[in-house]
Structure 1
């Protein structure tokens, strides 16, 4: 279902989804549509003449009482005056990760604007006057009553910039980006269940402190970020526990503890590489690549060792997978999941 301004809602079983885009409107009406839409939180003025048109879009999901979305917009000036605060009574925090462009206080000192990857905090209960360049940012809006109890100084965050190179800030950014890209696949209940851990992680980043309360959420988010890093670098044969630990600012001992449930870091890495080899072998478009070449790409230099490891993990040989792919039947032979009972038995040997 879609309304005249371009908002669209999905099925009830999924998190409510809205999409707004000015590009479908006549140029002379684009900024007015955006101004009316964003007025729920901000008064805004375009940095360019309205006759030039105004490109802005919002793709957002509601997860329980918190909303998250990806926003793209041309340069503008945002305001929350004291009179607007009194009129609308909004009492939320908005955490904005600037992925492109920047945002900063209009009267702020030099160097206080965000850089790509930085976190900008809006406290809707406080006055605000900012300017942005053409930008794209990920936004999480949270009612104060849900986040403030987790914060050390909940009333001192307005227009604060947290640099993206701080480990906890980067961890929260990775978590929110991953959540945004996955939330459309979750049920409404699943999306709501993710929010408490997300807020604990946000509190750890804002407080610059990991406490007993938010430690589990930090640990899970860190584990997920490292797994994504490993997945994106499977063909990097220099990938090592030492390098990963440095990348994420943790000790090797911490890294090993995180991967105990996976049978260790090396076991996780080896299994993910075997899974990638399986995906290539099962792909009919990749039949021009030899088994040996695929194995070597992912660090298996000995053909016999690769064949044995592959069979233990998948239940068949690499060549059997290739033959099934050629016959168009590989999809019926899914790779063994790392928590499958067959793997448990194999690890008992």
Structure 2
């Protein structure tokens, strides 16, 4: 299985006096840059990137600097891409921009390579998506008015796109090249929805799927939170409870999904030989199953064996890779019939 092309750059292995020059040469493909500190101090910068079809996705860490893209550089290189930058640490701002227009962690900063640019950054870490104009511009309302535009990260669609790109970056190395390419059209629909500040018929499916994935990640990270409720999740993601329920119809409902994920987590712990010091009752109670008999019945329906059978296999060293067999109930079977 071929993987998406991967590229890694890091100045840390170079002599301090050569670090900034190496970085300057590397980013010269798009920007002229000047370090905000004396070059003799060295310059830490790194890029870890994947090529997903025709779009590049990478995590960049770099010390404070000034970026420029002059009109003469535009004329020389003819590069025509959008760069969507999510600043996760540090900040970026137009050098001639008004006060208060610097990015905060989580904000989206848009670079239009067909327009001049002059920015300054602090020591920062940001996730960057580079997209050819021809792929994204047709989906945008004002494709030529995005240069150095800042979108605040607390806007729901901006947050949703950030979660999607972070998840894609984390898994890009595990995808096949074909899978990485296949995810880009939906990614661009989601990006268009965030930039246009609206959901249209054309991008509604991508928005819905990304929202569903983000909520699932939130649930997975909070399985031990017994106060996890549909009302709380709906507020967290800025949707109505009815919308939340519709999203989870294919999973047999919100409560069914959460219950199954908690059973799956209990299974992972029971099958882990290093966790055999924890009692079955303790594990069950941690994930909201206070009645031992109810837990045992639910666990057997979901996994095909009892909790104690899983624990015995773990003690014998035979359960580390034991799969969690999910026997979906009839509601799910009917809903998946087409």
> TM-score normalized by structure 2?
0.97
Q: In structure 2, do the counterparts of structure 1 residues 325 and 53 end up closer, same or farther at CA, with 3 Å as the change threshold?
A: same
| Alpha-carbon distance between aligned partners in 2 of 1:344 and 1:164, rounded to the nearest angstrom | 39
Deviation, structure 1 residue 333: 3.2
Which residue in the other structure is 1:46 paired with? 35
Q: State the secondary structure of the residue aligned to 1:58.
A: strand
Q: In structure 2, do the counterparts of structure 1 residues 346 and 123 end up closer, same or farther at CA, with 3 Å as the change threshold?
A: closer
Which residue in the other structure is 1:26 paired with? 15
Out of 59, 74, 82, the position equivalent to 1:85 is: 74
Structure 2 residues not aligned, in runs of 5+ = 334-338
| Alpha-carbon distance between aligned partners in 2 of 1:334 and 1:203, rounded to the nearest angstrom | 39
| Alpha-carbon distance between aligned partners in 2 of 1:106 and 1:155, rounded to the nearest angstrom | 20
> TM-score normalized by structure 1?
0.94
Deviations, residues 145-179 of structure 1 (Å, cap 9, x unaligned): 00000000001100000000000000000000000
CA contact (8 A) 2:251 2:332 kept: no
Which residue in the other structure is 2:63 paired with? 74
Do structure 1's residue 309 and structure 2's residue 298 form an aligned pair?
yes
Deviation, structure 1 residue 38: 0.1
Which residue in the other structure is 2:103 paired with? 114
Do structure 1's residue 289 and structure 2's residue 278 form an aligned pair?
yes
Which residue in the other structure is 1:201 paired with? 190
| Alpha-carbon distance between aligned partners in 2 of 1:83 and 1:343, rounded to the nearest angstrom | 61
Q: In structure 2, do the counterparts of structure 1 residues 270 and 53 end up closer, same or farther at CA, with 3 Å as the change threshold?
A: same
Q: State the secondary structure of the residue aligned to 1:295.
A: helix
Q: State the secondary structure of the residue aligned to 1:51.
A: helix
Deviation, structure 1 residue 331: 3.2
Which residue in the other structure is 1:210 paired with? 199
| Alpha-carbon distance between aligned partners in 2 of 1:42 and 1:343, rounded to the nearest angstrom | 53
Deviation, structure 1 residue 347: 7.0
Q: How does 1:1-349 map to 2 (within 5 A)?
A: 13-331=2-320, 333-337=322-326, 342-344=327-329
| Alpha-carbon distance between aligned partners in 1 of 2:221 and 2:10, rounded to the nearest angstrom | 32
| Alpha-carbon distance between aligned partners in 1 of 2:64 and 2:237, rounded to the nearest angstrom | 33
Q: State the secondary structure of the residue aligned to 2:207.
A: helix
Deviation, structure 1 residue 132: 0.1
Runs of 4+ with >6 A deviation: none
| Alpha-carbon distance between aligned partners in 1 of 2:278 and 2:263, rounded to the nearest angstrom | 16
Deviations, residues 242-285 of structure 1 (Å, cap 9, x unaligned): 00000000000000000000000000000000000001111111
